[in-house]
Chain A
Amino acid sequence: NAGVTQTPKFQVLKTGQSMTLQCAQDMNHEYMSWYRQDPGMGLRLIHYSVGAGITDQGEVPNGYNVSRSTTEDFPLRLLSAAPSQTSVYFCASSYRTEHYNEQFFGPGTRLTVL
């Protein structure tokens, strides 16, 4: 199992450019989430999905779009990048039981917006 994979690992964008951060998991997990990590602020939830075709907003959704067409993939789209979106982005997945279970995280994508 590869677990949760993210591409790219590093990215530099100019203000106004768009891009998609890719996330895939091979564990057949129903739940997937995107977080951003900024110094001193922990991880903040951007968007999450409880299954294919179902997504919802987290704490900081503005400027980001997501879709979930398959169980495996959960891409995060930046439509018009801004310097405030400079951050480390983590994708995570979790399996569904009657409890909320731990999340498995990808290695992260370090994004710089100039």
Chain B
Amino acid sequence: AQKVTQAQTEISVVEKEDVTLDCVYETRDTTYYLFWYKQPPSGELVFLIRRNSFDEQNEISGRYSWNFQKSTSSFNFTITASQVVDSAVYFCALSGLNTGGFKTIFGAGTRLFVKA
């Protein structure tokens, strides 16, 4: 069975601090995909990144970076120099190739508060 664990329910930081959101996954699939989505207070869900299981390169996009480690089944998300606009709920998600088709399992989410 697939599972995504985001152990941090809420995180509160002061603007300009760096913050890391943890994501640990479980899957028996040999090929799988990991995602991060952002849900700002307005409620929509916004795609941030996709990572394939066969590509362990870390990625940086502006203030955002992602650290994928298959050895620890983790796909952590770091925001550098956080800003108030980063306040949102962030979801980690997992899709498996061998689980019978297109199924995406989401973690419970981490609510990030960035205070000015």
A residues with a Cβ closer than 8 A to B are 31, 33, 35, 40-45, 48, 50, 56, 58-59, 88, 90, 92, 94, 99-105, 107-108
Contacts and interface: CB of A to CB of B under 8 A. Distances in A.
A92 B106 CA distance: 13
B43 interface: yes
Interface residues of B, number: 25
A105 B33 CA distance: 18
B27 to A, nearest CB: 12
A103 B43 contact: no
Contact of B104 (A33, A50, A107): A33
A103 B52 CA distance: 15
B103 A99 contact: no
Nearest to B6: A42
B62 interface: no
Given A33-B102, A43-B106, 13 more contacts: A33-B104, A40-B9, A42-B91, A45-B104, A45-B105, A48-B102, A88-B43, A90-B45, A99-B52, A100-B50, A103-B45, A107-B43, A108-B44
16 contacts: A31-B102, A33-B102, A35-B106, A40-B9, A42-B109, A43-B93, A44-B106, A45-B105, A50-B101, A58-B103, A88-B43, A101-B50, A102-B47, A105-B44, A107-B44, A108-B44
* Interface SS of A by simple majority: strand
Contacts of B108: 40-42
